[in-house]
Amino acid sequence: MAHYLVAGAAGFIGSKVSELLLADGHTVIGVDDLNDAYDVTLKHWRLKRLQALPGFTFAQFNICDFKQLEALFKAQGQLDGVINLAARAGVRFSVENPWIYVDTNVTGTLNLLECAQRCKVRKFILASTSSIYGADAPLPTPETADSNHPLQPYAASKKGAEALCHSYHFLYGLDVTIFRYFTVYGPAGRPDMVMFRFTQWLNEDRPVHLNGDGNQQRGFTYVDDIARGTILGLKPLGYEIINLGGHEVISINQMIAILEDLIGRKAKITRHPAHPADMLANWADVQKARDLLGWEPQVSLQQGISALVEWYRQERDWAKHIETPA
């Protein structure tokens, strides 16, 4: 049994990683400030489920608060690993408020790294993003593709966090694994992401707001696959950057068609210009994850989207009120 700190434990991926760690018999100290970057109802729903599980404890504060974070580390005794899933996410909103992205994604990561090295933590995992690859990445995208030309402050802030991780590996020998996630979806997902928004809008017979022509392509990745891969990265690897992404690539139009079929309703599409911060195509080369971790995505798109639709139906009484930005 190991003891892990999960930052962003009430978040979409953080809650699933915590859940799987607890199911394996480990203990988890979850940290989250429960901010209002998106509708906090979802965070409370996820957190309530975690707090019902043995081995989970929770601390509510912002990882930018170094003194509070350092006190928590010292109170934990020996931690076996730190998993940083706390982030301001989303490419579009980072254009509107880049400062808060730098605060959480760069300063917050620095604080976790410094506490980890002071407390002799052996393993550090950082959640990064496929958005880091920019506009001209080869498809599927390998980890060796250029990541020095991010298109939005969100991706730039993640690049800064990655650079800090490398410096702490070099200076202190901290074992670091960085995961670049590709378009994660699933039950209780982020309401600013296309899969959640379209599921809600179709179920409630609301207009489906579509940016661009819908031919944008994504390698959607089910959250359980992402969480499982993240946990596999807790083994000693030195310093590695690893893609985690889905094995089926579809367009946004194809995704809408799947949702229409599952929900039994035709989408009322309202078209908007393409957003300049969005990538036209994005999917992963995951050969490195296969080689180092023995990881493969296991959940098909049909299975994953069906699970999301079924979750929404079960939780509809409150999920229909979740704020979903157009």
User: Does 156 have pLDDT greater than 90?
Assistant: yes
Which of 133, 154, 181, 185 does the annotation list as catalytic?
154
pLDDT score for 71: 98
**In the chain, % of residues over pLDDT 70:** 100
Claim: this prediction has a pTM higher than 0.75: yes
pLDDT reported for residue 174: 98
Q: How far apart are CA 119 and CA 146, in angstroms?
A: 34
What average pLDDT does range 9-28 have in this prediction? 98
Specify whether 185 is catalytic.
no
What's the average model confidence in pLDDT over 70-87? 97
Higher pLDDT, 140 or 95: 140
Range scoring the smallest mean pLDDT among 53-67, 78-92, 104-118: 78-92
Burial class of 70 by CB neighbour count within 10 A (0 to 12, 13 to 18, 19+): middle
Sequence-ordered list of residues with C-beta below 8 angstroms from that of 60, at least 6 positions apart, any chain: 31, 32, 33, 34
**26 has pLDDT over 90:** yes
Q: What are phi and psi of 122, to 5 degrees?
A: -85, -30
Whether 160 has a pLDDT exceeding 90, the answer reads yes
> What is the mean pLDDT of the segment spanning 146-169?
96
Cβ proximity of 271 and 215 under 8 Å: no
* Fold (CATH) for 3-318: Rossmann fold (3.40.50)
Model confidence pLDDT, tens digit, residues 276-305: 888 899 999 999 999 999 999 999 999 999
pLDDT grade for 92, boundaries at 50, 70 and 90? confident
At 89, is the pLDDT very low, low, confident or very high (cuts 50, 70, 90)?
confident
The pLDDT assigned to 276 comes to: 86
Kindly tell me if the per-residue pLDDT of 93 is higher than 90. Answer: no
Task: Quote the pLDDT of residue 275.
Answer: 86
- Nearest of 285, 174, 278, 283 to residue 236 by alpha carbon: 174
Query: Residue 271 and residue 281: Cα distance in Å, rounded?
Result: 19
pLDDT by residue (tens digit) across 191-228?
Answer: 999 999 999 999 999 999 999 999 999 999 999 999 99
- Give the chain's mean pLDDT: 97
Looking at residue 91, its pLDDT comes to 83
The per-residue pLDDT for 90 is 82
Measured distance CA(91)–CA(98) in Å, rounded? 10
**Domain extent listing, the chain:** 3-318
Hey, what amino acid is at 300?
S
For residue 279, the model assigns a pLDDT of: 84
CA pair distance 59, 215, nearest whole angstrom: 42
Instruction: Examine the pLDDT at 159 and tell me if it is beyond 90.
Output: yes
- Whether the pLDDT of residue 59 is over 90: the answer is yes
- Which range, of 83-97, 140-154, 184-198, averages the lowest pLDDT? 83-97
Give residue-wise pLDDT tens across range 239-283.
Answer: 999 999 998 999 999 999 999 999 999 999 999 999 888 889 999
